[in-house]
Chains A and B, each alone.
Chain A
Amino acid sequence: MAALTSVGETPLAGHGRRQGGMQAGRRRRLNLFRYLTFTLFGLFFLLPLLATLRFSLEGKKLGTWSGAAWGQIASYPGLLSAIEITLEVAVITCAVVLLLLVPTMIWIRLKVPGISRLFEFLCLLPLTIPAIVLVVGLAPIYNKIEHYTVSALALFWVYVILALPYAYRALAAGLGAIDVTTLSEAARSLGASWFTVMFRVIAPNMWQAILNALLLTSALVLGEFTIASILNYTNILQVTLFDISRSTTNAGVLFSTSLAALLFAFALLLILSYVGRRRRGRG
């Protein structure tokens, strides 16, 4: 069972030694350097966020405070429906990414390991093809799709491609940490079908990697602008925000919505890193 529970990121484990045996003078200098670096970078990363926060709380008159912009997230025309449809696209994209990647990756690992290099290449390929290029070639394909449906939900087809590299890396790390062959041979020799092997034996053992892939995919969908904008799906969150910024300069609702989306993503990732640690500790 120990092998089954230790799914966490193992590379972290080895570096506890780094601190040992260091001269006191060097450690003092190192600590000074670290605190200075963290402060400076912390300021650089926090100031824009704080400025966004300040702006989202700006009242009608300059310099006053008001929570109106946060209330507007729910009442601004078209904004709430944009959030809703973007979340729906995110959920569909996540489901398709998992259904496409997890069985294929397990299958390749077990049955056709010869093509794993080709598979990795295909999964990482979207990193090398900019979204703006992809969308030029996608326009004719989406013309065909729009023949059947004009809903923005159809964006999931291409978002799956954008998410492939990130989801692949997360899942490959999870799959690499468990002994897939032994697990599947044990299950198969006990009479399990391939479906059972994939969804009831191997997938539960890499749930953390799956969760990781899901979060990365959702973060990507929530922030995507290029493709939705060029294919003219104006009811996607980022495109809606862009349009608001063009029609009303410095609308407070821009800043409150941006900040809310960002905090949402940050909270998800922070939770994930803690879930991973608790799981490791128990194992």
Chain B
Amino acid sequence: MAVAATTAAGARPSVRAGRRPSAAWVGTVPFLGYVGVFLLLPTAIVIWNAIRNPVAGGLELSNLKLLFDSAERSYFTGSLELSAGSSVIAAVLGAVLAYAVASGNPDGIVRRLYLSGSGVLAQFGGVTLAFAFLATIGPTSGVLFHAGWYYNFPWGIGLIYAYFQIPLMVLVFLPAIDGLKVQWREACENLGGSTWDYWRHVGAPLLAPAFLGATLLLFANALSAYATIQAWENQISYTVPQQIYIAISSEVGLASNAADVLALGMVVMVAIIMIGYFLLQRRAARWLR
């Protein structure tokens, strides 16, 4: 229908239909310009400020020593602890849930509900999530019970993180499970293999790269989360993002680049993780066509 309408409206024979690759680049300029100003430039500013002398200008790599300072290192340890704990647990639980979803009717209501729900909840990492758990198990206001460990650092907040990490795992891992062909299972059964044999020798090795890749993605996701932990507890900093916030808000008018140095530290960590993710993803894609 759409095709028919166009001839009536835009019947203008074009003269310059030839191939001129040099001119074709022009079409991508608005996009490249936008990304350049609002993504690449801020990143460059962070890196430049981190390795520059905040007062006199000029290169000064000694700023980076801050990253190895014992006080700052504790925020990195805190971030790693929280991210590793919440991503490994959520990856295992999310994989189980993804398998349960995948083994059902592909057009059924359960799958639809869990996928839409996962889509929403994976994005639900904001301050509202901290409120929801405060209402559920908050030390003074819990409807379910009053959990004394609610404000315990890795466990209380880790439970809240699982609430958006598990749905993310379902979304990321489901395509991998969908890629398991039923013929592989049948082949295993015809050769006398049990369910355990199938998972031990076929399923697990096939899914391992996808699983590890998804875990890394969850790890990076937890590492960069800031809103939830800030709403959960904003008096004490446990993680790097919280400490970056404190550095930003306290350096108004001061010649300091602590925020930039910490931010650079995070960029490096996340970059390493994401490179690992993309490599594993490529490995996983081999079987999942």
Contact = CB atoms under 8 A, between A and B. Distances in A.
A49 B271 CA distance: 34
Given A133-B263, A161-B39, A226 B227 contact: yes
A237 to B, nearest CB: 9
A141 B37 contact: yes
Interface string B127-151: 1110111111010111110000000
Contact of B224 (A107, A131, A196, A265): A131
B250 to A, nearest CB: 13
A51 interface: yes
Nearest to B98: A37
Interface stretch (B60-68, B102-110, B205-213): B102-110
A191 to B, nearest CB: 4
Contact of A137 (B45, B128, B234): B45
Contacts of B274: 127-128
Interface residues of A, number: 105
Given A48-B132, A51-B136, A136 B248 contact: yes
Contacts of A187: 3, 6-7
Contact of B116 (A47, A158, A160, A269): A269
B58 interface: no
Contacts of A266: 116-117, 120
Contact of B135 (A51, A138, A190, A195): A51
A79 B24 CA distance: 47
B35 interface: yes
- Judged by DSSP, the binding face of B is helix
Contacts of A130: 223-224, 226, 241, 266-267, 270
Contacts of B57: none
A129 B163 contact: no
Given A55-B141, A111-B27, A137-B46, A225 B11 contact: no
B7 A191 contact: yes
Contacts of B6: 187, 190, 192, 196-197, 200-201
B193 interface: no
Contacts of A200: 2, 5-6, 9-10
Contacts of A47: 136, 144
A132 B7 contact: no
A266 B105 CA distance: 21
Given A51-B142, A200-B2, A269-B120, A112 B21 contact: yes
Interface in A181-224: 183, 186-188, 190-193, 195-197, 200-201, 204-205, 216, 219-220, 223-224
27 contacts: A21-B182, A26-B195, A41-B93, A55-B135, A104-B30, A111-B24, A112-B24, A112-B27, A130-B223, A132-B245, A135-B248, A138-B42, A158-B38, A191-B13, A192-B10, A196-B10, A200-B5, A219-B123, A223-B126, A225-B227, A238-B227, A246-B234, A255-B135, A258-B131, A269-B119, A270-B116, A273-B115
The 9 closest A-B pairs by CB, nearest first: A137-B42, A130-B224, A196-B10, A258-B128, A225-B227, A51-B136, A107-B27, A111-B24, A137-B45
Interface of A: 4, 11-13, 15-21, 26, 30, 33-34, 37-38, 41, 44-45, 47-52, 54-55, 100-101, 103-104, 107-108, 111-112, 115, 119, 122, 125-141, 157-158, 160-161, 164, 183, 186-188, 190-193, 195-197, 200-201, 204-205, 216, 219-220, 223-226, 229-230, 238, 241-242, 245-246, 249-250, 254-255, 258, 261-262, 265-266, 269-270, 272-274, 277
